[in-house]
């Protein structure tokens, strides 16, 4: 008998949390959170559960977030979407989280579309009572809206369990009375509630224990939505809280999916650099196979601990999973920017904030607000999807004063980034290149300033686990370029190392000069930020092209292409 095709986890590496999956015929659609990044909500498509292709970001026009994301706090914004299909429509519910104090303003919207690629309807505000909303479409034609209830009262726990209320699909409003029908279990109150109806039972799948190393997924069931709900004997369904050596930590926030005669759950996870250490790739999406035992779901491995590799569905036999997410971006007037390029808290306007036409073959960014701004930055960022990668660009920039900056940044949020930038030094009357770090609002330089001659330069950052190293050279210097990945090529076909000079400022044989020493890449992780800030962080590290003009918003910087190359796709 042939061995089954194995799926390596995570199936969506890098910042891709809070998965919600729906099957429509032979197609599987998976939605994930984006928080303050724009366009909002990512939707991926698969036919085999092995490979996933980006197909849509439904929140792609400002009207779909009526209160706007500009001004939202870091790790606020669009949380935990839920994607479903009923009555010939895709239904997407999502939360715009505006505050995080004793109060939590959570605006829950619903939109629909005849196809997952749109067009999506205008949003309807359903409720603001809590977050993690979902829709359940019952077999009798009735629809229900669930969400976690938030309690602001100082004597209460804040997270107060789960509520359910009937939902009118015509008016898209709640009807009847809200019922507080499930308050949680031994691992804490319920978040991320989702209901599956199977064999006459209503199965309530919940997340508990927070989103960190105590995260879990639990199941309870009842014969009716009125309850009472009884806990599964396989409790919890999924966790790595008691398995510190498991490569898939923080496992929880799951959803069911049936694939032919087989069943799976998708779930949130994170991979630390060291046991229970820092996770710069953020929260990712993984897949586990389950089986039904006496009417209860259980992981097919017979435990509650996730596996790094799981059997693919029988119909996916022979599928080859994509292991390398490297890409080369060439800027051209008739080629849109890749969907992986994200902006912060709202869209950038072509020919106003950026241009692909003014200088063909280049991306022109018009300098805007600083990297600390919660409103509008001129920035395009791509998520990290491997622990070891190199990113490179060419920068042509002629600043006129020190308030004009442009360059290449490793970015987590507005309080945490490492920025290699060009600016103007009026004392020496020349351009300079240096590194500025923001570490939970503490600013420091990462190197001495380098005086630059006129002309375009190339910038490169090489991330190797906890460390990052920047390098530069004058554009046009003869030497090794980052090669394009051959069609069908794998990570092992790429160079294993990238040369960096050991002496500060000394060029190697290809013209690259180091810019400072190692930088703390692992600081761009929710674990480090939460430890320093004392407040939750939910996203993941990005690499960004950006420009600032804190003077007159008139300067511009031109970027000649962008390359992201993974050295390895394997977990540490």
Whole-angstrom distance, CA of residue 526 vs CA of residue 494: 30
Cis peptide before 236 (omega within 30 of 0): yes
Closest CA to 289 of 81, 25, 5: 5
**Which structure tokens are listed for 188?**
């804490």
Whole-angstrom distance, CA of residue 110 vs CA of residue 96: 11
* End-to-end Cα, the chain, rounded Å: 32
Whole-angstrom distance, CA of residue 180 vs CA of residue 126: 17
| Active-site amino acid positions | 18, 191
Output Rg (C-alpha) for the chain, integer angstroms.
Answer: 24
Q: Is 492 helix (H, G, I), strand (E, B) or coil?
A: helix
Residue with tokens 């044989």: 509
236: buried, middle or exposed (CB in 10 Å: 19+, 13-18, 0-12)? buried
Q: Secondary structure of the chain: what % helix, strand, coil (to 5)?
A: 5, 50, 50
Whole-angstrom distance, CA of residue 388 vs CA of residue 283: 17
Whole-angstrom distance, CA of residue 64 vs CA of residue 83: 16
3-state secondary structure 247-274: CCEEEEEEEEEEECCEEEEEEEEECCCC
Whole-angstrom distance, CA of residue 93 vs CA of residue 109: 6
Whole-angstrom distance, CA of residue 263 vs CA of residue 362: 47
What's the CA angle centered on 133, arms 131 and 134, to 5 degrees? 165
Closest CA to 435 of 413, 456, 461, 457: 461
Q: Is the Cβ–Cβ distance between 543 and 285 less than 8 Å?
A: no
Whole-angstrom distance, CA of residue 153 vs CA of residue 466: 41
Q: Is the Cβ–Cβ distance between 76 and 97 less than 8 Å?
A: yes
Whole-angstrom distance, CA of residue 196 vs CA of residue 256: 7
Phi and psi based region of residue 128 (left: phi greater than 0; alpha: psi -120 to 50; beta: remaining) = alpha
328: buried, middle or exposed (CB in 10 Å: 19+, 13-18, 0-12)? middle
DSSP for 449-493, written as a single string: -EEE-SS-EEEEEEEETTEEEEEEEETT--SPPPPPPPTT--GGG
- Bridge partners, 272 (sequence order): none
Q: Is the Cβ–Cβ distance between 28 and 45 less than 8 Å?
A: yes
Q: Is the Cβ–Cβ distance between 396 and 527 less than 8 Å?
A: no
């Amino acid at each position: 008998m042939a061995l089954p095709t194995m799926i390596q986890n995570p199936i969506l590496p890098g910042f891709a949390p809070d998965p919600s999956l729906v099957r429509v015929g032979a197609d599987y659609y998976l939605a994930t959170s984006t928080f303050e990044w724009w366009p909002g909500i990512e939707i991926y498509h698969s036919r085999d559960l092995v490979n996933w292709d980006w197909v849509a970001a439904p929140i792609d026009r400002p009207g779909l977030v009526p209160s706007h994301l500009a001004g939202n706090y870091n790790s606020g914004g669009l949380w935990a979407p839920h994607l479903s299909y009923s009555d010939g429509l895709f239904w997407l519910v999502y939360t715009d989280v505006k505050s995080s104090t004793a109060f939590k303003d959570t605006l829950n919207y619903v939109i629909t579309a005849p196809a997952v690629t749109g067009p999506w309807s205008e949003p309807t505000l359903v409720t603001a009572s809590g977050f993690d909303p979902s829709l359940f479409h019952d077999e009798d034609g009735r629809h229900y809206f669930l969400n976690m209830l938030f309690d602001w009262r100082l004597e209460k726990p804040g997270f107060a369990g789960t509520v359910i209320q009937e939902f009118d699909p015509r008016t898209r409003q709640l009807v009847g009375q809200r019922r507080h029908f499930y308050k949680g279990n031994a691992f804490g109150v319920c978040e991320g509630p989702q209901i599956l109806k199977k064999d006459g039972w209503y199965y309530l799948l919940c997340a508990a224990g927070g989103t960190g190393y105590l995260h879990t997924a639990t199941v309870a069931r009842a014969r009716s939505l009125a309850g009472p709900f009884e806990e599964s004997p396989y409790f919890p369904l999924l966790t790595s809280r008691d398995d510190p050596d498991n490569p898939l930590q923080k496992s929880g926030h799951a959803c069911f999916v049936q694939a032919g005669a087989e069943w799976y759950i998708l779930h949130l996870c994170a991979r630390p650099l060291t046991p229970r250490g820092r996770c710069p790739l953020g929260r990712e999406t993984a897949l586990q196979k389950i089986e039904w035992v006496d009417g209860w779901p259980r992981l097919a491995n017979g435990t509650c601990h996730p596996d790094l590799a799981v059997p693919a569905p029988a119909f996916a036999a022979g599928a080859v999973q994509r292991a390398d997410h490297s890409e080369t971006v060439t800027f051209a007037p008739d080629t849109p920017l890749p969907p992986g390029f994200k902006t912060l808290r709202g869209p950038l306007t072509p020919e106003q904030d950026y241009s692909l036409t003014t200088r063909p073959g280049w991306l022109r960014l018009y300098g805007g607000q600083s990297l600390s701004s919660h409103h509008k930055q001129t920035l395009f960022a791509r998520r990290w999807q491997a622990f070891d990668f190199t990113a490179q660009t060419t920068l042509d920039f002629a600043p006129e004063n020190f308030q004009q900056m442009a360059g290449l940044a490793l970015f987590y949020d507005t309080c945490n980034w490492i920025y290699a930038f060009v600016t103007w030094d009026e004392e020496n009357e020349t351009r300079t290149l240096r590194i500025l770090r923001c570490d939970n609002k503490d600013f420091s330089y990462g190197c001495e300033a380098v005086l630059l001659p006129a002309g375009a330069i190339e910038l490169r950052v090489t991330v190797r686990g906890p460390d990052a190293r920047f390098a530069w050279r004058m554009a046009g210097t003869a030497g090794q370029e980052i090669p394009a990945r051959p069609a069908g090529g794998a990570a092992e076909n790429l160079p294993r190392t990238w040369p960096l000079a050991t002496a500060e400022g000394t060029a190697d044989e290809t013209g690259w000069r180091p810019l400072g020493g190692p930088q703390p890449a692992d600081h761009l992780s929710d674990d480090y930020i939460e430890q320093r800030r004392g407040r939750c962080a939910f996203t993941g590290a990005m690499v960004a092209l950006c420009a600032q003009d804190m003077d007159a918003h008139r300067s511009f910087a031109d970027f000649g292409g962008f390359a992201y190359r993974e050295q390895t796709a394997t977990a540490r």
